[in-house]
Amino acid sequence: MLAGLMAGTVAAVLVALLVLLGVAARRQSERADVRLDYQFGVPITDEVDAVAAYAASVCAAAERAQQEADLAQYRADQAAADRDMAELRHRLARRRAQAAGEPHQLVQRAALDAYQRGQLSVTELNEIWRHTHAPAEPGGPAPAVPLAWEPPVRASQQRYEQAEAEAARTGQEAGLKAAAATLLAAEAQAAEALLSATRRSASTGLVGLLRASWA
């Protein structure tokens, strides 16, 4: 009976020792994790955070650049449409002026032919051209646009030239904005690739291997 009691006591002591050894081993492992986090985890985390912040800023800049490029292209398209409309209006103004001046031109040509045949004097020719609102230029061609139509034709031409210059300016600006957006998009793609590589390196590096072996 005494022997059985001693055997039970020894077994209980052994179980208690095993429990204490297990607790000690676990605490040692936790302390090792803390030291490892301090030595390796913080720098790697800082590096990942820095790359992530850089990638986020570049992606935001690329998005803004694309929005600016889209807006610049819209303005360029609108300016090109305005230029085309101004050109069309200028052509219509010239055609209307030429159509209005056709009867006068017929009279001017007839008077000029009569002058060249000696049937009219210079004074008579000037009088005829004065009534047709054209300057007297014996031997010269009759004007294509009557004097009364010159102001609207000139104004339409000025509007067309201004619209053409604006279309050229906005088109150049749109090209520059598009080029900048393309460059920033490529930089954003490279930054995202760098972030992915940094995260993979952090997860599969020395810290990852040691933690996997302790898990």
Residue 13 lies in a domain: no
Beta-carbon contacts of residue 170 (< 8 Å; ≥ 6 apart): 72, 75, 76, 78, 79, 80
pLDDT attached to residue 213: 52
Contact criterion met (CB below 8 Å) for 169 and 84:
no
Residue 38 lies in a domain: no
Q: Which of 91, 95, 124, 129 has the alpha carbon at shortest distance from 109? A: 129
Reported residue count of the chain is: 215
Residue 110 lies in a domain: yes
Residue 24 lies in a domain: no
Contact criterion met (CB below 8 Å) for 208 and 41:
no
Residue 25 lies in a domain: no
Range of the domain at 103: 48-205
| pTM for this predicted structure | 0.55
pLDDT attached to residue 214: 53
Distance of CA 171 to the CA centre of its chain: 12
Residue 195 lies in a domain: yes
The structural domain count of the chain equals: 1
Residue 191 lies in a domain: yes
One-letter amino acid of 200: R
Residue 64 lies in a domain: yes
CA dist., res. 193 & res. 151, Å (int): 63
| 153, two tokens | 């034709």
Please provide the DSSP assignment of 105-174 as one string: HHHHHHHHHHHHTTSS-HHHHHHHHHHTT----TTSPPPSS-GGGHHHHHHHHHHHHHHHHHHHHHHHHH
For the chain of 215 residues, list the mean pLDDT of each consecutive stretch of 10: 44 45 47 44 67 89 94 95 89 77 66 76 73 50 61 89 95 95 92 86 61 51
